[in-house]
Structure 1
Amino acid sequence: MKNNLKKYLISILSLLVILSSLAGCTKETSNVQTSIAQLTKEEKLEDFEYLYKIIEGNYPFLKVNERVNGIDWLENKDEYKAWIENTTDNDTFMGQISNIVKELNNGHTHVVSKEEFEWYYDVYANSEGSKTYNKPWAKVFKNEKVLEWYDFDKNHMKEFENGKYFGSNDPAFNSDIIIPNELAYLKINQMNGKRVEEDGKEIRKFYEEIKDYDKLIIDIRGNGGGNDLYWRKNVVEPLAKINISVDNYVFTRGNYGNPFYKSRGMKLFPISKLDKKILQDFPEEIETDFDHYNIFTLTLKPVSPVDFKGKIYLLVDQGVYSSSESFAAFCKDSGFATLVGETTGGDGIGIDPLFFYLPNSGIVIRFSSLLALNGDGTINEEVQTIPNIEIDATIGANYEEDNAIQYVINN
């Protein structure tokens, strides 16, 4: 129950950061439009079978879910079918589909609610990349059955200020001096992709002011993600002294994701091509359950470096997820910063989650498709990122009452 609650809370936090200040992002949708004819029992079951087939063949964390949450999702098929058979209308059907997907316990995997749909449509189907790198995503959201189910008319979309998908367009960071000439503090609240350049100018000014300090704390506790460019451009590139590279193995199952990977320029190689000595050090399910792999190599170079001379500490907790998780994993594997706090939320290495829709209803489902390994060969979604220094990461009312900050001060 504790792990399920954690995943559910992380899911909500991640969606709040990536999209907007939505309430109950992963809750089952109600208020489905009544103008659509009620699905028959047979149509509902056909949709469930399609969902089951996609997850069975393509979802990467089935074994992780068994180990962490004690849920054998595939073995629960008859139970889930009964849930569907007992639905009375379209609303309850969508609600039960949502509940079934929640049993996968992944913050990136959920039914797209009616309230969320417009944001996702604008991100993937109404964007500049909808005909290139987002094309497979756009294809899902432009499907006529999908548009009918969500009662969506692109000609009557809301106005999105500057295309932003965050609850606020205020700076996504704040900075402070904890101990003059010794310890500086940078809090990043969200990896807001729309604030990269604007925030970057002010963050760089802050770095110039504190470049001779002994220590810099970068605090990403509670940061549910956003866009990797925020931390790459505004943290690593100005503070790096040399090129920094990390490699992560990622693995895929099935064929559904192939058009998505191709659109992002991701080449896949058969598992059989992996050296057996390497493969034997990976989790057993890699060889038995997965088809292809890729090695994500991320190399970041100094860009007009400020020559910060001190040590960098990264404060983390369970609320660190998605692109913030990718930052934490990068820092841990590269040694760019010393991680202080609690184990993170995970699932931050890879590309955007994929989407598919159910053929009879048009319900859209989002799911994480890549199993990524940390630098030590553990599964990021399962183990997450364990800090170098494990300590209570509760955010204090002030610096004196914050254990993680006090650790940095005293050590």
Structure 2
Amino acid sequence: MFKNRLKNDKGRKLCFSYKVLSFYVAIITLSVFITACVERTNKYAEDYEYVWNLLESNYPYFSYIENEGIDIEDVKERYRDEVINIEDEESFAEVLSRMFDELGGLDHLSVVDNYIYIGYWSVLNSGGFGNERIDTAFRKRLTSKKLAPRYSLQNSKELDVNWEDMYPQVEIQYIEDINTLLLKIPSFSQDLIDRDKDVLVKAFADYPKTENVIFDISGNSGGSDKYWIENLVEPFGGSYEQKSILYFKESDLTEEYLGNDMLSDIASLENVPKCVLELNLDKYIDNRLSVSGETKIKSNCKDIKKWVLISGNTYSSADSFAKFCKDTNWACLVGDSTGGAGGGITPVLELLPNSGLLVRFAIDVVIDDDKLNVVEGTSPDIQCIKNETTLDKCIEQIRQDSQAGL
């Protein structure tokens, strides 16, 4: 009996030891799981807070958004709750994209995808943005080792990407009875500058009797200002200067992209637009664009009337072209107000430190006639009426001018 009791005691001890071991294994497993969940949650939650700190310090449109009836704090809290359950980069990018859309997506507020990423490299490898500080800031982010896997390029090697196939050719028509050349330009992409550089000159050579030229950018969502400067304006010759004031929030990011030497205090301005004061902006720069070139068109350029067709789909650098035409009287705008977002510096990039996602947004505010360009766009000189196409309106105006001897 004693032996049996000893045997039972030994069994109980082994059983107890096994239970203790199982308990510790369970605790360790649970701890590892919780740690992994916390790390995963913190990774995206921290980036979420980073995004909001970034926007609140730099993005200039929150006051306008609130005045439009959007409860920014509500948006912030609702999407914060979603981020807690995020498990991967793509889901996080999707949540941010929906949040930016709900905020209105004003002035390029968005998550950068790989197409845009490659496009930025194309700009940098073709001479850059025309500002050394901006180029440096972009390269710093585009070459970061923290970049998310969605971005396929992480250095400054030459790109082997054929973007020409992504955009249709410029459509050319000639309306013979009014001696009018029509060019429909679908994009101002940086990668199309060389492809399209001789299109205008060749078209005038093919139609030497041209008296009017119509540039249809009503469906053009932008690209690079270099496209329209080099391919559309410069071939006509002459010199033009466009002046404007760009407004900013004072911040470290603004300083990094522009430098304090370029920025001045808004308090030094005599007349500050009301909408600038409402946005609580405190810095500005004098912005100047000078365009000049030798005439490349054989016919008498001075006598050729230039027209530009615009619509609400005319956006970004296409809006910049429309704004240039209006400010310098280079061409007559026909159609409806553009979608805006032109006339300023290129939207800035920022890298989210944990997920490696890139977000972009404008830090400058462009004002036209005391109104926000990104909201109101660039207005036409000749407005279309209901059920009237921009082209029909322009042709009608050309016929009227011809009959009036103008």
TM-score range normalised by the length of the shorter chain:
0.7 to 0.9
Q: CA 1:287–1:271 in 2, change beyond 3 Å: closer, same or farther?
A: farther
With over 3 angstroms needed to count, the CA separation of the structure-2 counterparts of 1:205 and 1:54, relative to structure 1, is same
Amino acid at match of 1:223: N
Q: CA RMSD in A?
A: 3.4
Asked if 1:391 corresponds to 2:388, the answer is no
1:18 maps to: none
Q: State the TM-score, normalized to the length of structure 1.
A: 0.75
Partner-residue secondary structure (3-state), 1:243:
strand
Which of these two proteins has the greater Rg computed from alpha carbons? 2
Matched, 1:327 2:327: no
Q: Equivalents in 2 of 1:409, 1:137: separation in Å?
A: 45
Task: Assess, with a 3 A threshold, how the Cα gap between structure 1 residues 124 and 40 changes in structure 2: closer, same or farther.
Answer: farther
Task: Give the one of 234, 244, 249 matched to 2:245.
Answer: 249
Mapping 1:301-320, distance limit 5 Å:
301-304=292-295, 306=297, 307-308=300-301, 309-320=303-314
Equivalence for 2:373: 380
Structure 1 gap ranges (5+): 1-36
Residues 85-111 of structure 1: CA deviation (Å, up to 9, x unaligned): 343554433321222222332352211
* TM superposition shift of 1:272: 1.8
2:48 corresponds in structure 1 to 48
Mark the CA change 1:287 to 1:324 in structure 2 (over 3 Å): closer, same or farther: same
The answer to whether the Cα contact below 8 Å between 1:394 and 1:403 also exists between their aligned partners in 2 is: no
Distance in 1 (CA, whole Å) between partners of 2:289 and 2:185 is 21
Instruction: Report the number of matched residues.
Output: 357
Query: Percent same amino acid among aligned pairs?
Result: 26
Query: What is the aligned counterpart of 1:407 among 386, 389, 396?
Result: 396
Residue by residue over 1:239-266, the C-alpha shift from the partner in whole angstroms, topping out at 9 and shown as x without a partner, is 35x532221111111221322224xx98
> Is 1:221 aligned to 2:218, yes or no?
yes
Q: Which residue of 2 aligns with 1:8?
A: none
Name the residue aligned to 1:160: 160
In the alignment, the residues of structure 1 paired with residue 73 and residue 244 of structure 2 have an alpha-carbon distance, to the nearest angstrom, of 28
CA distance in 1, matches of 2:278, 2:106: 22
Match of 1:24 in 2: none
Residue 65 of structure 1: how far off its partner (Å): 3.1
Contact in 2 for aligned 1:346/1:383 (Cα 8 Å): yes
Partner deviation per Cα, 1:21-54 (whole Å, 9 max, x = no partner): xxxxxxxxxxxxxxxx875323322211110011
TM-score normalized with structure 2 length: 0.76
Instruction: For CA contacts below 8 A with separation 6 or more, give which structure has more relative contact order.
Output: 1
CA contact (8 A) 2:164 2:192 kept: no
- Cα pair 2:265 2:283 within 8 Å, conserved: yes
Q: Which residue number corresponds to residue 366 of structure 1?
A: 360
> Given the superposition, is the C-alpha separation of residues 324 and 153 from structure 1 closer, same or farther in structure 2, using an over 3 Å criterion?
closer
Tell me, yes or no, if the aligned pair for 2:123 and 2:190 is still in contact at 8 Å: no
| 1:158-307 map, 5 Å | 160-161=160-161, 164-168=162-166, 171=169, 173-180=170-177, 182-208=179-205, 213-240=210-237, 242-253=238-249, 254-262=251-259, 267-275=262-270, 278-279=271-272, 282-286=273-277, 289-304=280-295, 306=297, 307=300
Residue in structure 2 matching 1:347, options 341, 344, 347? 341
**Alpha-carbon distance in 1 for matches of 2:136, 2:196:** 30
Which residue is 2:80 aligned to? 81
In the superposition, relative to structure 1, how do residues 231 and 395 fare at CA in structure 2: closer, same or farther (>3 Å)? farther
CA gap 1:238/1:121 in 2 versus in 1, 3 angstroms? closer
| AA matched with 2:286 | I
Deviation, 1:152, is: 4.6
Q: Which residue of 2 aligns with 1:15?
A: none
Q: Secondary structure at the match of 2:350?
A: strand
